[in-house]
Structure 1
């Protein structure tokens, strides 16, 4: 049976600063299979919950969502050349598809955020399409916040010990000593004994009440060479609310090089810290003393031509056992295997990729780590995946 969209609302076109807007002061519902496209600003002063269809925001102009009632959409997609500006929050209950353009919220107002509710997820995020501002989750345990600034996607990976009733995060390409978007300052010279230096170029803000581990990544713009010339000394650090200083949050050995990599924290409660970023440890620092050896970088071309179709490391045949893990460039684990031989062919074997996993992992750079138990050896390197 054909499905239709029924819209029950009072709408009219208003002129605000010479731009038209769709004004909702009634109630509307998008039924299953229905679609509605917004090509103008939305002023929302009435409920938009219980939607099951698709709401799309399209066009060449910046669209603004404002009003007094937070709109809620089931499936949402954005294809805007000049982005979407949220002047109030927005809830998504199923899928957000980033086609082009970003969702922007004010970094100076953490009460305005894009909220992924319950099982909500997203797809298509990249440097040109993401959330520039605050993203939030409701009733989710693990999540990759698709946040960044105008230039780069700079996600934060959250793995919590239990379900978060609510948590939110934002990325700031600002100096924590004197941030332009926050009222307080966080002196990078005030550090705990095992913290040598703190990054002065970027930081993340994370709010939540559940003990969690967090993975932070860096790129060339992060300028970690200003912190250290030794990748093993890169650590995650947080500004402690209790001690009013930067403290070491290290939980894993850093993976990558001085221009690209990631590191994961030990478990901590986000609300115990104002902001978090990257730093360097005092040398020597025992948890980072484990040797990590680099072996070859690899090119994987999974196009079925019989050449480089899988990830094969000849040296692994010399050992009785191994444990291999593959991560994307932001630190999201996409594959792991004990006693690995050549099983990776460009697909994830984990359940943390909610959308498009059947199509395979996207083209790009990935990190791999290998642990050899019999000799207590750790290896890491890069692979480039092509399709």
Structure 2
């Protein structure tokens, strides 16, 4: 919808017809929570062109984000990127530059990570229940849930590592383990009894065991959602057979942590960034969230294309044909025709349209995450070391705001 600006020059190629909306878009101006737009000194849209590589652009964005957080300590700042890889670089630059409060939202919200790490600690312990270090790690993950103060946790973990897990969890003749006095140690005793109960249930099919654990640990719908998501992902790969070894489950859980968390929505968690902090996340995960100041780097023609030539999907030695898209299209049609001649409605062109439309939707999401100030940036060089141009969206918006 951003491509319909009346200030688009006549010498510019027309945008792809598939993206034309039915009516002109409203102006980009939204009232803040108090019902008033921010002062002109605090609000606006900036366009940053960096002569250099994407890394140099990202470094400059990181510096500006730190300056914004320092200049407006009562506001929130975010850097929204296209990929986790780019976000990881932004986090590294912020750390190198001494940013004080940085929130990593690339792999989920802090609440999501807490749930996942707790379940990981329990599953890893189930895989080796006689290992004192595994039991200590499980207690460490669940200390907050059990009401054990972090200041008191160190001596407890040392005591667990020096003990036999079976003696702590299943004392002879029902005798409780000899715990030191004090409320924190009493909480540890209750946690050990809970862990022992879960371990006894380990003879049941593993999905039932994990369901019991999730129901015991969590009450909030969003926490139960994450627990159920993990169990579903594990069942898709391992099935629900009771003979599945807990070591296999632990290994597959690690794969989920590393590669299959992109479908977890950030908006199901009540994420509330702290004033003065800088959040780094992807445009996809930013949906449903808001910050006072937002930076979106790499608004290039390659990352946000509007014309087919700006980002061809095929391979050059195959005449830039998207083999996967074309093969799937031909299989669907069961067509006996050979050759890869591109037509106006070819699968390769359609694959580009789908990608470009999705990227523009993501950019729209990112633009509308800002409550006060938005900064769009682009570098003169691509990540391939060649010269690149800014996206048509970047150019249209830049001219529109300059003219306004």
Q: TM-score, normalised by structure 2?
A: 0.24
Q: Could you say which structure has the higher strand fraction?
A: 1
The structure with more radius of gyration: 2
